[in-house]
């Protein structure tokens, strides 16, 4: 089938390439000329394991092209799949500016029957609103249009794996033929399908992210208690996760969840409920726990050493490992918090960052000062003369660091592991005072 994927970001590029791999003829459309130019020359504009190679393969096969020409993008495909960003506004509501722009492009250039598929995460009620908008603006006797909701569940860092082995495929719509056509796009994937109405599809997406966020805040709150009790939260989570009704996934305690989705989707769901006259108490608490997790961790650091005037190495400024995405990054928020506590110098070690100018996107920073922040590589002497190392994202590369040398070079060898990633025994044997999140050692 001929498909145009609108928006060539993390989701759009992955989806476009996977659809091309499945045998469809795909156009990737984005308003960002630079991005389009890079993609057409086989360069991925962001980092995602395995995706660069798939891009080269599909370009060579001629199954995909990228364009910034809205007219060609709309005219040349029957299926128009929207995957533009839907970031948060200060009220918590999702910002639909990009989505509105896409609808303008579609209505301006429509030239035949189209199925508009919404892959972006959109507030409950949006697909029905999109359909009304299109019906009002398009002469549907000439150009019939249907709208289908098809939310995405991939994780960054595992986008290709998740897209090729989806846990489920949710397809929401009102027109059986259009829903079936979208289902057929994916028939060569082994996946359960859920066909439902728009609101159900939209709510499955928000409730899934809300629930995963709740698991993380639950284990983080239990970690605070485990810390007081002298229990090891890693073993507690492992023991809980062996019960298939609980599952071990998203049960890792740390400095909280970040990224472009959990924070914004929790906010939107709370906002939507309030619009309906309802308070989502549980999700409000999930958010509150997450928002205070860094503060809790920094207090733990301060119970070991003063921070004022100190030099601290922070490992990991992406919102998690295996991605270059820094949106709502817990590592960046942690640095901001440390600077607010009077830390004199922060040395950042992150495989995706080479200069302070590459730190971006995290909102609401209060104390950021580029003069106090420097970038070091994993192979450098980042800990030389430093007073502490704090791990914020569990990059596998961090295990390979010469920790013994770093401990010797540090002014004081404190290692605060905000992701319970490194082995406490091993780190202690290499000369560190290792402090994780509730690892069973009472203060
Ligand atoms: P992104 O910011 O990486 O990409 C969005 C792209 O859309 C950008 O390249 C931008 O230039 C482009 N764009 C903006 N306006 C446009 C327009 N009018 N026409 C064409 N292109 C336009 O965003 P993302 O992370 O890929 O997320 C996209 C959507 O998918 C969001 O709704 C998000 O909530 C949802 N989602 C994201 C993930 C994830 O892991 N990132 C997972 C599941 C769902
Ligand atoms: C998340 C969901 O896992 C995807 O299913 C969903 O499609 C996506 O959001 C989305 O809607 O955008 P993603 O944000 O890429 O995916 O990454 P996750 O692996 O879920 O991690 C999110 C954050 O939670 C990270 O900061 C991570 O460090 C943190 N996390 C994750 C924990 O603190 N503990 C855990 O056990 C798992």
Q: Of 338, 341, 342, which is closest to residue 313 (Cα–Cα)?
A: 338
Asked if residues 32 and 38 have their Cβ atoms less than 8 Å apart, the reply is no
CA neighbor of 183 nearest in space, from 350, 22, 398:
22
Catalytic residue among 84, 261, 314, 383: 261
Protein residue with its CA nearest to atom 29 in ligand 1? 120
User: Is residue 382 a contact partner of residue 402, using CB atoms and an 8 Å limit?
Assistant: no
Instruction: Encode the chain (443 residues) as per-residue pLDDT tens digits.
Output: 999 999 999 999 999 999 999 999 999 999 999 999 999 999 999 999 999 999 999 999 999 999 999 999 999 999 999 999 999 999 999 999 999 999 999 999 999 999 999 999 999 999 999 999 999 999 999 999 999 999 999 999 999 999 999 999 999 999 999 999 999 999 999 999 999 999 999 999 999 999 999 999 999 999 999 999 999 999 999 999 999 999 999 999 999 999 999 999 999 999 999 999 999 999 999 999 999 999 999 999 999 999 999 999 999 999 999 999 999 999 999 999 999 999 999 999 999 999 888 887 678 889 999 899 999 999 999 999 999 999 999 999 999 999 999 999 999 999 999 999 999 999 999 999 999 999 997 64
Q: Determine the Cα–Cα distance for residues 209 and 335; give it in Å rounded to an integer.
A: 26
pTM above 0.95, yes or no: yes
Q: Which pLDDT score is estimated for 361?
A: 62
Nearest alpha carbon, ligand 1 atom 3: 9
pLDDT tens-digit map of 159-172: 999 999 999 999 99
Instruction: Give, using CA atoms, the residue closest to atom 2 of ligand 2.
Output: 155
The 10 Å CB-count burial string (b at 16+, else e) for 276-299 is eeeebeebeebbebbebbbebbbe
Helix (H) / strand (E) containing 209:
helix 198-229
Amino acid 443: pLDDT: 47
Cα separation of 310 and 408, whole Å? 17
Quick one: which ligand is closest to 95's CA?
Answer: 1
- Tell me how far apart the alpha carbons of residues 311 and 413 are, in angstroms, rounded to a whole number: 12
Pocket test for ligand 2, best of 207, 216, 334 (most atoms within 8 A of CB): 216
For residue 101, the number of C-alpha atoms closer than 13 Å in the C-beta half-sphere is 14
Residue 153 Cα: closest atom of ligand 1: 43
SS3 413: coil
Residue minimizing CA distance to atom 20 of ligand 1: 30
Per-residue burial over 158-167, b if 16 or more Cβ lie within 10 Å, else e, is ebbebbbebe
| Residue among 85, 121, 261 whose CB has most ligand 1 atoms within 8 A, to mutate | 85
Within 68-175, where are the H helices?
Answer: 70-75, 97-109, 126-137, 159-164
Distance (Å) of CA 338 to CA 313, 325, 358, 366, 369: 11, 21, 19, 11, 11
Residue 196 is a catalytic residue: no
């Amino acid at each position: 089938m001929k498909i145009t994927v609108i928006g060539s970001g993390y989701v759009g590029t992955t989806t476009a390439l996977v659809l091309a791999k499945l045998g469809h003829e795909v156009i990737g459309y984005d308003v960002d000329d630079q991005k389009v130019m890079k993609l057409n020359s086989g360069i991925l504009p962001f980092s995602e394991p395995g995706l660069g190679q798939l891009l080269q393969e599909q370009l060579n096969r001629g199954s995909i092209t990228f364009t910034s020409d809205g007219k060609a993008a709309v005219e040349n495909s029957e299926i128009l799949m929207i995957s533009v960003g839907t970031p948060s506004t200060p009220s918590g509501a999702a910002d639909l500016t990009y989505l509105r722009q896409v609808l303008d492009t579609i209505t301006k250039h429509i030239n035949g029957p189209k199925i508009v598929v919404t892959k972006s995460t959109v507030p409950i009620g949006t697909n029905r609103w999109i359909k009304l908008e299109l019906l009002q603006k398009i002469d549907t006797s000439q150009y019939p249009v249907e709208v289908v909701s098809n939310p995405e569940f991939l994780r960054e860092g595992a986008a290709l794996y998740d897209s090729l082995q989806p846990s489920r495929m949710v397809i929401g719509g009102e027109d059986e033929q259009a829903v079936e056509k979208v289902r057929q796009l994916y028939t060569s994937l082994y996946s359960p399908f859920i066909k439902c109405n728009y609101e159900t599809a939209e709510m499955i997406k928000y409730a899934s992210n809300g629930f995963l966020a709740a698991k993380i805040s639950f284990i983080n709150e239990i970690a605070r208690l485990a810390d007081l009790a002298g229990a090891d939260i890693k073993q507690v989570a492992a023991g809980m996760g062996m019960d298939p009704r609980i599952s071990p996934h998203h049960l890792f305690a740390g400095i909280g969840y970040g990224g472009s989705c959990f924070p914004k989707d929790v906010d939107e769901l709370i906002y939507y409920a309030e619009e309906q006259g309802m308070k989502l108490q549980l999700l409000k608490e999930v958010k509150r726990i997450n928002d205070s997790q860094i503060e809790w961790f920094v207090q733990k650091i301060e119970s070991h050493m003063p921070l004022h005037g100190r030099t601290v190495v922070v490992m990991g400024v992406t919102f998690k490992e295996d991605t270059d995405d820094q949106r709502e990054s817990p590592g960046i928020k942690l640095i901001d918090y440390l600077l607010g506590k009077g830390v004199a110098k922060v040395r950042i070690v992150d495989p995706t960052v080479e200069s302070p100018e590459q730190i971006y996107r995290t909102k609401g920073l209060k104390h950021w000062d580029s003069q106090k922040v420097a970038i070091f590589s994993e192979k450098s002497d980042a800990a030389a003369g430093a007073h502490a190392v704090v791990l914020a994202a569990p990059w596998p590369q961090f295990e390979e660091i010469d920790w013994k040398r770093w401990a010797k070079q540090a002014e004081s060898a404190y290692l605060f592991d905000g992701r319970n990633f490194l082995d406490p025994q091993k780190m202690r044997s290499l000369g560190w005072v290792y402090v994780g999140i509730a690892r069973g050692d009472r203060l």
